[in-house]
Structure 1
Amino acid sequence: MSKVAFIGLGVMGYPMAGHLGKAGHVVTVYNRTAAKAERWVGEHGGTQAATPAEAAAGAEIVFACVGNDDDLREVTAGAEGAFQKMGQGAIFVDHTTASAAVARELHDEAKARGISFIDAPVSGGQAGAENGVLTVMAGGDEGAFAKAAPVISAYARMARLLGPSGAGQLTKMVNQICIAGLVEGLAEGLHFAKQAGLDATAVIETISKGAAQSWQMENRYKTMIEGKFDFGFAVDWMRKDLAICLDEARRNGAHLPVTAIVDQFYSEVQAMGGRRWDTSSLIARLDKT
């Protein structure tokens, strides 16, 4: 068992840190809103720290899941960031969905300090975090990943190193690009079924047994038909992720016409008041007409 720290107890980090505690690791937590860290300790034991640096002191592995590039820089290399107190040979595992550029930047900063940095964004959503079945896409050094992987397995059913620093974030971008297109296709299909006078539930129950099947179809079609979106991965978060994808595409020359269009469709959902709706709410902009 390891002495670890977890920084950022949001909808993903809170249960992920909980799985580390259940697996027997000694966990110190930090959260910007201290009351949430206090609640976590009350539920899971462990220790609460006042700063990321304090949480990281003495930890073999420091995990983080925060909001964006700037948040990540603050909790790592900031004045009270984890890098300030991490010991030689310690490993920082970042589960934030951020840019590949910041992953490479922090990898180099960590290396200069004698520590390791792994970019390791996740897929599986809140349910995956709560059930301990996330998919982890990692970039970084093989040795550091090999040490961290057994600990990551506390909340992941798949964790794979996909290349050097930044490869994890780039793979997460592929994930989000694919999801954006799938959800729009599902939204249009369901909208078409309704307009055609078909029983949309019966249609999905039938075609989901064939080539059209997807996770989104299996897990979202019922709530899409019912127009219920007050759960899941928020539209605001998806737009943040797609902005990262589109920015990287401008850098590497990839053409993402569908992704760009779906991003604009999500802006329409935001204008409808759906900033915190699940990403499956793309159907709402079609059904309103």
Structure 2
Amino acid sequence: MTTSPAAGDTIGFIGLGAMGQKMAGHLLDHGFNLALSDPNPEALAPLRERGAQVYATPREVADHAAIVLVCVPTPAIVEQVVLGADGVIHGQQVKILVDHSTTGPSLARQLHRELEERGIDALDAPLAGGAAGAQAGTLSVMVGGEKRAFERCLPAFRAFGKTVEHLGSEPGLGQTLKLVNNMIVASTLVASSEAMLFGVKAGLDPRQMIDMLNVSTARSFTSEHILAGTVMRREFDFGFRLDLMRKDVRLFLAEAENSGVPAFTSAVVKQFFDQALSEGDPARDMSHVVQVLEQLAGVNLQG
């Protein structure tokens, strides 16, 4: 029977961005040794100082760790990191590959097929909770893949996750739930903003309105944490990049079309993120989509 990793075991981690660096820090806090790779030396430096080992390529990480976690921005980067010439698939020690990125179920199934041929288990384990959840160690971890591999990785997941759920052995289930989650966030942000801008234009005070909505049936995560917070403060710093949210919306639409599920509302929501992306830095926070609606309405949601 496969044993679970314990404090002192080595975990590979590839991708030390806004989420990954914080997650890797929690793994160190919980006593795991880390083998790291990232193209940004500045991201690696603080973890190297804490004792993590740094390697030039994903393949080298997979030569030194039985479990390798990947957390990178796009499906194309995941493919390169996992299946490329210097990818995890060629490592000598790796037994389990965990993809924490948001890539969609189709790629999750592809990774599962190709890694299985090398005797490597693949888990798709995307995350919810954003940079704030990564910082606090309270992420939600949505996992699809073999139960035995999940159980072996569970202690590592619990180092940075408050809610860790195994959704089933079918590859791609974690990715599917993550796309559902992000599509709902994107849609409720656009719909709630539109409705509130109508209220502002009719004479309602934005702060009073959002406070009432958040104790009423219209409340949602976006109204409580995005509109009432970063948008009202005009800081637009929720912690998730605009281009990444647009990428997730596009992935949702592609997968919905493949499965024959109607996505009329989601297709309209995507257009607002397309417009926001065309108006400035793609690395801006995704809450900047509200400004597209504010410009159209001629008023804003400043509290």
TM-score, with normalisation over the residues of structure 2?
0.90
Match of 2:263 among 234, 256, 266: 256
Q: d(CA) in 2 for partners of 1:32 and 1:116?
A: 25
**1:202-248 superposed Cα distances (whole Å, 9 cap, x missing partner):** 12112211222222111112332343324521211111111111111
- Aligned to 1:258, the other structure's residue is in SS state helix
Q: d(CA) in 1 for partners of 2:43 and 2:293?
A: 38
Is 1:123 aligned to residue 128 of structure 2? Answer: yes
Q: Report the Cα offset of residue 160 of structure 1.
A: 1.1
Q: d(CA) in 2 for partners of 1:208 and 1:230?
A: 20
Q: d(CA) in 1 for partners of 2:103 and 2:18?
A: 17
Is 1:57 aligned to residue 63 of structure 2? Answer: yes
Q: Calculate the aligned-residue CA RMSD, in Å.
A: 1.6
**1:37-88 superposed Cα distances (whole Å, 9 cap, x missing partner):** 234312x321111111111223131101012222112111211112211436
Q: Report the Cα offset of residue 106 of structure 1.
A: 1.0
Q: Report the Cα offset of residue 171 of structure 1.
A: 0.9
Q: d(CA) in 2 for partners of 1:174 and 1:36?
A: 30
Match of 2:151 among 146, 153, 175: 146
Q: Quick check: 28-37 or 168-177, which moved more? A: 28-37
Match of 2:139 among 128, 134, 140: 134
Q: Report the Cα offset of residue 35 of structure 1.
A: 3.7
Q: d(CA) in 1 for partners of 2:36 and 2:261?
A: 39
* Structure 1 counterpart of 2:292: 285
- Aligned to 1:154, the other structure's residue is in SS state helix
- Aligned to 1:6, the other structure's residue is in SS state strand
* Structure 2 counterpart of 1:229: 236
Q: d(CA) in 1 for partners of 2:118 and 2:41?
A: 28
Q: Quick check: 158-167 or 79-88, which moved more? A: 79-88
Is 1:31 aligned to residue 10 of structure 2? Answer: no
**1:168-198 superposed Cα distances (whole Å, 9 cap, x missing partner):** 1111111112111110122113212211211
Q: d(CA) in 1 for partners of 2:224 and 2:277?
A: 25
* Structure 1 counterpart of 2:183: 177
- Give the paired residue count: 287
- Runs of at least 4 residues of structure 1 off by over 2 A? 33-36, 225-228, 274-283
Are the equivalent residues in 2 in contact too, given 1:30–1:48 (CA < 8 A)?
yes
Are the equivalent residues in 1 in contact too, given 2:108–2:172 (CA < 8 A)?
yes
- Aligned to 1:162, the other structure's residue is in SS state strand
Identity %: 35
The AA in structure 1 aligned to 2:252 is C
* Structure 2 counterpart of 1:168: 174
**1:93-133 superposed Cα distances (whole Å, 9 cap, x missing partner):** 11010021111111112111112110111111111111111
Q: Quick check: 104-113 or 13-22, which moved more? A: 104-113
Q: d(CA) in 2 for partners of 1:125 and 1:68?
A: 16
Q: d(CA) in 2 for partners of 1:253 and 1:144?
A: 31
* Structure 1 counterpart of 2:193: 187
Q: d(CA) in 2 for partners of 1:223 and 1:101?
A: 34
Unmatched tracts of structure 1, length 5 or more: none
- Aligned to 1:57, the other structure's residue is in SS state helix
Q: Report the Cα offset of residue 274 of structure 1.
A: 5.3
- Aligned to 1:219, the other structure's residue is in SS state helix
* Structure 2 counterpart of 1:273: 280
The AA in structure 2 aligned to 1:235 is L
The AA in structure 1 aligned to 2:282 is R
- Aligned to 1:211, the other structure's residue is in SS state coil
Is 1:247 aligned to residue 254 of structure 2? Answer: yes
Are the equivalent residues in 1 in contact too, given 2:12–2:64 (CA < 8 A)?
no
Are the equivalent residues in 1 in contact too, given 2:35–2:64 (CA < 8 A)?
no
Q: Report the Cα offset of residue 262 of structure 1.
A: 0.8
* Structure 2 counterpart of 1:98: 103
Q: d(CA) in 2 for partners of 1:237 and 1:283?
A: 16
Unmatched tracts of structure 2, length 5 or more: 1-6, 299-303
